[in-house]
């Protein structure tokens, strides 16, 4: 290769033919595997500007300086050092590529804001070289800008998943940006399409793999914690985490068919997560409906309030977790049924409180301490009823429980004295 470069120098300088045909392949061995030389210009020197400071770079002896445009870079090579690259610009970094026509010569200026070269060729097709560099550099730049947006959206995706936000729109916009990058990679003259498409494919692969990993990790972690909450009847925690796991399944269910790049073992993990979700949700719904049926059939106030409260807590937990709004979960109809369940739960608390109050009155003369405990428990039942009523039940009375609670407080105070002394006594 070096002999071929020297042959070029001999033909250009020291009396060679003025219009020598330059062959860019003379520099092929200087390039890494896969990088292809496309155009070459020759001159006796090059002006190199860095951060506003300009220096003249020229080879020793009867050698030329060369500007070589490849499908990846623009290089300056000196004929006396043909095995080295003197200056290099990646195509993606080039923002300036312009031919300036003067009285004595024509100059090609190539570079970016911080660094550039001015090359006045004595041989080679400057217009064709300029057009090639400008087109390819713009393609690299626009493709890379689109792909940088994709990478930024990957960070946004992780935050959205962790925050249980809807990621469908983000996924659609990311796919659109990848399509835009593919368009820029393939619609232009003399573009290195294979290399540009490879850049798009690499970023698309990174995005798709991370998209799947993020959702799988989020869904699997949520499912594990949901199963633990299920075992201890922590309905609110279970429903919140379980709907998160179900949302992960929904986000992942079509990716094996629509994504080209999947992490190792992803299909098995997706299927395992989906199977687990399908198993435990039916169990929760069945237990919830059983609690509701038992509440409706209960014949005594204590049993009724226990099961109405259980049904209410299960339905409320599901409602707060948007159970009915989560894809593929069995129906609970929390939106339409919860108000009625809340109203019946309030009634059950009130009826049980009345039962306890009546029993307290019956026992007050003979056992003031027992009566007091019954009054206190009745007050607790009314407070539970009040809290649920304020949230869900339709109440016509502006103050439905305060009068009853005040009456119970009077009875509690009375039994304190009957028992022996008020709370303030030693």
Dihedrals φ, ψ of 241, to 5°?
A: -75, -35
Question: 135: which 2 tokens?
Answer: 């087109």
Name the pairing type of β-strands 46-50 and 53-57: antiparallel
SS (H, E, C) the chain: CHHHHHHHHHHHCCCCCCCCCCCHHHHHHHCCCCCCEEEEEEECCEEEEECCEEEEECCCCCCCEEEEEECCEEEEEECCCCCCCCEEEEHHHCCEEEEEECCCCEEEEEECCCEEEEECCCECCHHHHHHHHHHHHHHHHHHHHHHHHHHHHHHHHHHHHHCCCCCHHHHHHHHHHHHHHHHHHHCCCCCCHHHHHHHHHHHHHHHHHHHHHHHHHHHHHHHHHHHHHHHCCCHHHHHHHHHHHHHHHHHHCCHHHHCCCCCCCHHHHHHHHHHHHHHHHHHHHHHHHHHHHHHHHCCCHHHHHHHHHHHHHHHHHHHHCCHHHCCCCCCCCHHHHHHHHHHHHHHHHHHHHHHHHHHHHHHCCCCHHHHHHHHHHHHHHHHHHHHHHHHCCCCCCCCCCHHHHHHHHHHHHHHHHHHCCCCCCC
Q: How far apart are CA 198 and CA 211, in angstroms?
A: 20
Q: What is the mean pLDDT of the chain?
A: 88
Question: 219: which 2 tokens?
Answer: 């869904």
Dihedrals φ, ψ of 122, to 5°?
A: -100, -10
pLDDT tens by residue, the chain, 426 residues: 445 555 555 544 433 344 456 899 999 999 999 999 999 999 999 999 998 899 999 999 889 999 999 999 999 999 999 889 999 999 999 999 999 987 778 999 999 999 999 999 999 999 999 999 999 999 999 999 999 999 998 888 888 888 777 778 888 899 999 999 999 999 988 999 999 999 999 999 999 999 999 999 999 999 999 999 999 999 999 999 999 999 899 889 889 999 999 999 999 999 999 988 887 888 888 999 999 999 999 989 999 999 999 999 999 999 898 888 787 777 777 777 888 899 999 999 999 999 999 999 998 888 889 999 998 999 999 999 998 988 876 555 556 788 888 888 888 888 877 555 455 443
| Nearest partner of 331 among 277, 281, 279, judged by Cα | 281
Q: How far apart are CA 118 and CA 100, in angstroms?
A: 9
Q: How far apart are CA 25 and CA 11, in angstroms?
A: 16
264: exposed, middle or buried (C-beta count within 10 Å: 0-12, 13-18, 19+)? exposed
pLDDT tens track for 202-249: 999 999 999 999 999 999 999 999 999 999 999 999 999 999 999 899
CB 340 within 8 A of CB 312: no
pLDDT, position 168: 82
> Under CATH, what is the fold of the domain 2-124?
PH-domain like (2.30.29)
């Amino acid at each position: 290769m070096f002999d071929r470069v020297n042959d070029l120098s001999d033909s250009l300088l020291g009396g060679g033919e003025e219009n020598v045909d330059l062959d860019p392949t003379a520099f092929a061995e200087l390039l890494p595997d896969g990088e292809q030389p496309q155009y070459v210009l020759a001159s006796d020197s090059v002006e190199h500007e860095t951060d506003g400071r300009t220096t003249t770079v020229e080879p020793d002896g009867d050698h030329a300086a060369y500007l070589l445009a490849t499908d990846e870079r623009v290089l300056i090579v000196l004929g006396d050092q043909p095995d080295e690259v003197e200056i290099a610009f990646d195509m993606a970094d080039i923002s300036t590529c312009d031919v300036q026509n003067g009285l004595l010569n024509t100059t090609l200026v190539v570079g970016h804001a911080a660094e550039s070269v001015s090359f006045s060729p004595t041989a080679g097709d400057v217009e064709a070289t300029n057009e090639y560099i400008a087109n390819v550099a713009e393609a690299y730049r626009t493709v890379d800008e689109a792909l940088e947006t994709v990478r930024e959206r990957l960070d946004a995706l992780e935050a959205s998943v962790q925050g249980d936000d809807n990621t469908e729109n983000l996924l659609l916009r990311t796919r659109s940006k990848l399509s835009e990058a593919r368009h820029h990679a393939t619609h232009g003259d003399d573009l290195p399409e294979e290399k540009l498409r490879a850049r798009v494919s690499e970023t698309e692969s990174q995005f798709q793999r991370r998209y799947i990993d993020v959702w799988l990790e989020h869904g699997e972690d949520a499912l594990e914690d949901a199963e633990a909450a299920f075992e201890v009847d922590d309905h609110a925690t279970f429903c919140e985490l379980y709907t998160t796991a179900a949302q992960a399944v929904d986000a992942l269910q079509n990716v094996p068919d629509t994504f080209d790049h999947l992490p190792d073992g992803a299909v098995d993990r997706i299927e395992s997560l989906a199977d687990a979700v399908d198993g435990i949700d039916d169990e929760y719904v069945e237990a919830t409906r059983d609690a509701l049926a038992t509440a409706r059939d209960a014949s005594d106030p204590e049993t009724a309030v226990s099961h109405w409260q259980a049904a209410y807590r299960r339905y409320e937990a599901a409602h707060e977790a948007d159970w009915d709004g989560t894809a593929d979960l069995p129906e609970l109809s929390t939106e339409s049924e919860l108000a009625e369940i809340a109203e019946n739960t309030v009634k059950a608390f009130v009826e049980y409180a009345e039962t306890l109050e009546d029993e307290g009155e019956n026992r007050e003369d003979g056992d003031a301490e027992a009566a007091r405990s019954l009054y206190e428990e009745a007050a607790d039942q009314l407070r539970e009823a009040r809290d649920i009523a304020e949230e869900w039940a339709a109440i016509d009375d502006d103050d439905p429980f305060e009068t009853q609670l005040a009456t119970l407080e009077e009875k509690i105070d009375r039994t304190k004295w009957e028992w022996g002394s008020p709370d303030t006594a030693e």
